[in-house]
Every structure is written in C-alpha cells, then in structure tokens.
Chain A
C-alpha cells in the first residue's frame, strides 16, 4: 500500500499490529493500552515502535514518552470523526512532538484540515488511493486562522496591510 508523507506518495513501512499479534519484526504500531502495559519489553527491539491512538484515548498517558516514539498514528474510523484533529494539534503544539503523525483512514475531503492541524502522513481509507488523497490538499488555499501551520490570523495580515496603506496615505497628505 502507498501512503502520503509530506505530500509525497511513498511505500508504507509500517504495520499496525492488533493487540494479540506478537511484536516480531519491522516497524510496528501498537495500541496505546498495549504500549502502556508492555512498553518496557520493547527495549532493544530491532525495528521502530509507534503508538496508535483511538479517538477516545486521552493523550496524558502518552505525553511523558512522546519523544522516543517513531510514529503516532491517529485512527479515523468514521468519516465524521473529529477528535484526531485536536489530538494532532495538541501533540504538536502543546507536547512538542516532532516525529511523524499519521492519519489512518484518511479521506480526500479531510486531508486539508488534517495537514493544517499537524498530521504529516496519511494512509488512505480502503475506498481511496494515495493518489486520490493528493487532490484534497489545495482545493482551498485561502486560510483565515492559524493552527499548527502557524498561518497568521487573517486580521493580523490585514492590519499590517492597512497600516502600510495608512502610512502611505499620511505621507502623501
């Protein structure tokens, strides 16, 4: 399967292990519950370990350990699921996580919002391909408000413009 990482289509390196599959090899994500329980047993593991967050998971349990994680995967199991956007924002802005945040079950109509909140990798839901997802990023390029993307608040942008204009006006009078 192909995924999108930083807007580029790439081969997927990660597998997402159900709780009863053993951690054997390669880059794997495990559920938050399993990770809390078995975390120490992964010391010395050959591949990378990532954690999967369900929409209802609280970040608090994960926060002390985010730095060491290879990936945090956010599950979007429904078209209308919205908690992952805040989870991503908080991981980036509040907890300083700089590694990959991946949306599982991403849809074309969501990736624009997801990316702005700090999600940088996207695994498409079964009904879409990575190529199709790419079409969703730039459908709307005008942005009014900052999120993790640090777009300046629209009124700030305009206030700067207005001030320049006012200055101009005043000097010309």
Chain B
C-alpha cells in the first residue's frame, strides 16, 4: 500500500514505510506519557527537560519553542501545508527556518505539543533529536540532486544516517550534541568542516564509492576547522565507522564541563593522530566481529531509489522554452530576480529558484502561514511537489521548468517571496537572538533591520556583490557568525548589548574562522561599521574580486583602520572609542 502510494506521487523524497510510520507514532505516544508524568510530578523539571529536548521542545525566554526536523532540508508540499496549519492553530501564524534546515515555532503551549507532534507524524514528520545531547538532524547540500558539480546525490546517505542514528540505544546520552553533515558536490555547500563529523562523497581510483571523513569541526565558544580522519572510507563501512567514532567519543568525551564536551575538544586534547588510532582500533574490532552495519548496494538502493530523478533532462516538451522569460527581461524587477534568485540546473530544461526569506522588515528565516501555503501550492504546480530549506535560511524550488519561470516569479512576488537579494549583504544569516532565545546576550533582529535599512537600494547591493554576513546573539553561534565573511556576535558588556565584528570567516572548501576586527561596538554603531567595511572593499577591490577575495589579499588592517579611526581621525577620539568599548 505504502509502496503503491510512493509510486503514485511525484515527490522524489524518502517515503515512509509502515515501520517508519509506526516509530514516529510510538514516539508521540511515549512523549504524551512523559508530559503526563511531568505534570503529575513524577518527573522533575531537570529530568523532563532532557526528555522534551529530545523531542525538540525548549523552554525559551517567553514561552516554549518547538523545533521540527526537516531531514536535510527536504519537504513535500503537503508537509509544508501541515507546517503552515500548525503555525496557525498552535502558534502565532508564522514559523522560523533555522541554519540547520529545520523549522521552529516560538509560541506553542506545552499541553498542545503532543497533538502537534501527532499532526506531524500524520504527514511523516517528527521532532526527534532536534535538540539534546544526541545525534542531531543530518544536514546537507540544498542543491543535492540538481547541482551541476555533483559527484553523487548525498541525500540517500543522509537518510541512511538519519535512520541509523534515530533512537540509537548506545548514543542517545552523549556528552554533548552531535552534528553530521554530508555533501556530494565538488563545492562544499554543507559546511562539512564545521560539523562534529563531515562527510564528502568521493570515489577512489577503482571508482569505488566512498567518503572523505572529517571530524571535530564546529563553531561556538571554541571554533575549530574539522580535521581529516580518513581520506577514503569505502561506502559499505559508513555506519560502522561512524559508530566507532561515536563510541570513542561517548566514552572519552568530557562530561564535567558543558563547554568542553564537544568532540572537537576531545580531538584537540588527544591530538588527531591519537584519536584516529583509537577510532581505527575500535573499527577494526568491529569489522573482525563481523560487520552487522555493512551497507551493500542492495541496502543503499532501498533508500536511494526514493531520490531517483526520473524527469526527462530537457524537462519534457517545451520545458526549456525561455522565450517568455526573455521577453520579460525587459521588466527590471523580473530580470533582477532572475539574475540573483535563480541558478543553473544540471538539466537544461530547468532552473533552480531560490526563495529569499530575507525580505525587508522580516526577521531572517521567518515565514508566515499564508506564505507557507503559497510556497506549497507553487511547488505543487511547478516544482515536482518539492521544497527545500537551506542553511542560509532560504527556500529552494529545485525543479522549475524554464517555460514556467515567469509564472513562478509572479506567484512568488504576489506573496512577498521574490525579494531579489540572494547572496547579497542583505541575505544574512541571523539567529533569533534576545527576542526569543534565553541564552542570548544581545538582540540580532534589530541589528539585521538596521543593516537592511542602510543597504536598502538594490543597485547598491548588487554593486557590492556576494558577501556572507552572519550574526549570532551569543557565542553558541547558531547564526554561524564564525564563518561569515562578515560575522557579528552579540556580547554582554556590563549588562549592555554590544557587538563583536569578525572578518574573513568562510564555510566553503577554504574553511576559515573569522578574525576579530577589534573591540566590540554598541548596537547603534554596527550598521555604520558594516558600511565602512564595505567602503574599504569597494575602494580597493580589483576587477572581479569578491569581498572575501579582497579581504584575503589585504588582510584585516585596512578594515580595522576605517572602523576604529573616528571621523576626525584624531588620536584622542580613537582612544576614546576603544576605551569605551
């Protein structure tokens, strides 16, 4: 029956079978029981906290926050409609897409959460392991399966890891959270070097499929670029190797200090060579015992078949007909959008459409329920029923026929979803900050708005070109500020909200952690500082140089000089800026 259903639908995504469905339903019933036991006083606040976190439920500044898993960012239209309905029924009519490709609701009531989880389970979704010290939702390349530079679609491996790690009996109580990312492209769009484990799909000389394995990367209090632990891991051993790493970490990772508990601290403490040795010994022991975790072609196929692209490369008759779009290029609004918000598809009949969730006056990543319904409808009509969320907090329609592109733009535009600012300075990543998060030092949404207002002219934004601006309200780095070309970090200074700027971070293959520009700045000075930084770039860039390239050539000093030297350039006032910081 479920087989029949999956053959009928056009969505190329993993389809639950009876086992998956029964698991999420049992999980909802279990959580309902845990809520009851908590309300009856059988579980303490601390105990219940651990259980609710493992079901995505936080207690935040004003209310509960529920984080729903969107495995590697892939959603069907039907699932998106459910997300919209939940936001209307149980929340304030909007949701927030996160940097881990999930969605968060900021206002659910505890008593409603089991019902919300049930509504999710009814459309094959859940909130399992979206928080807590366990293996979290696996993230991936948002262009998986449609990117031109792809070696292999990483999503089947993400799904295999998702299932293997779900309710893992041995690794559900780790020293700290554990994040895995997989990329299959030549260019890394999943920031694999900033994850506890990062995997890149590769093939060896015999064309055997496998993975490059990176370990111990991460952002936060101690940002670290991951280290290569294995240049080539044959595909069939994926799960046993992950298990070996997790076992060593589970036993040896620190549990006495929250801030020293991530695997990156363990890897740094013992050294990558020693860590590698321990993992390999454990792994060899596992292999010698007969590998119960081996995934051969038949096992991989049980998952991979769901993602198979059966569309004709040219998109079918008249799909690649761009004559209408060509005519519309005379409309600069469409032309801007087409240039900035659509990408080349691996197949010539299609384009990839990016939906910006960074419209003016909107907190980055936020989306209203009406917009969720609209996106669902548009995806159903024009993009194989499929929607993706990105770690840059935007959405993607990955299968839009060239011939439909004008129609898709008009529909998106109607709903305020066609802001043509992808990859510009205003396409910033931003965590919820002080407005919602109880850990925050400072607000982020207000700063984002100030920057947006300062750079409100599109021609100016386009003139600046690609800048990855990323902002977090505290050093937990949910907004990935460590890897922003420009990073902004909220800090607490004697009870005041201040901001630390970093430059030169990047999450791509040239992974680097941003350098501190200088002393932190008060909120009202941040947008101005960003403008000065941009002006240095504009003034000194060479032909074709992106911001990050100019930074790499010049180093931090010229930027520093401009931000910290006062308008009058007097030595005294310069000192006074620094002193007051």
What residues of chain A have their CB less than 8 Å away from a CB belonging to chain B? Answer: 55, 79-83, 85-87, 89-90, 93-94, 107, 109-110, 112-114, 116-117, 139-147, 149-150, 152-156, 158-159, 162-163, 165
Contacts and interface: CB of A to CB of B under 8 A. Distances in A.
Contacts of B319: none
B299 A85 contact: no
Contacts of B22: 141-142
Contact of B33 (A139, A159, A163): A139
B575 interface: no
Nearest to A136: B30
Contacts of B47: 79, 107, 109
Contacts of B495: none
B330 interface: no
B446 interface: no
Contact of B301 (A145, A150, A159, A165): A159
A107 B17 CA distance: 31
A116 B302 contact: no
Contacts of B289: 93-94
B472 interface: no
A150 B26 contact: no
Given A80-B50, A113-B169, A114-B169, 20 more contacts: A55-B255, A81-B255, A82-B172, A82-B173, A85-B170, A86-B170, A90-B247, A93-B289, A141-B26, A142-B20, A142-B26, A145-B163, A145-B293, A153-B293, A154-B19, A154-B164, A155-B302, A159-B298, A159-B299, A162-B298
14 contacts: A79-B47, A81-B173, A82-B172, A93-B289, A109-B47, A109-B51, A140-B23, A143-B167, A144-B23, A144-B164, A146-B292, A147-B168, A147-B170, A163-B298
B298 A86 contact: no
Interface of B: 3, 17, 19-20, 22-23, 26-27, 29-30, 33-34, 46-47, 50-51, 133, 160, 163-164, 166-175, 239, 247, 250-251, 255, 285, 289, 292-296, 298-303
B160 A155 contact: yes
Contacts of A114: 169
B175 A116 contact: no
A153 B168 contact: no
Q: Which of A55, A117, A147 has the most CB of B within 10 A?
A: A147
A72 to B, nearest CB: 16
Contacts of B293: 145-146, 153
A83 B261 CA distance: 13
B63 to A, nearest CB: 24
A139 B26 contact: yes
Contacts of B294: 153
B29 A139 contact: yes
Contacts of B296: 159
A155 B295 CA distance: 8
A39 B67 CA distance: 51
Contact of A80 (B17, B133, B250): B133
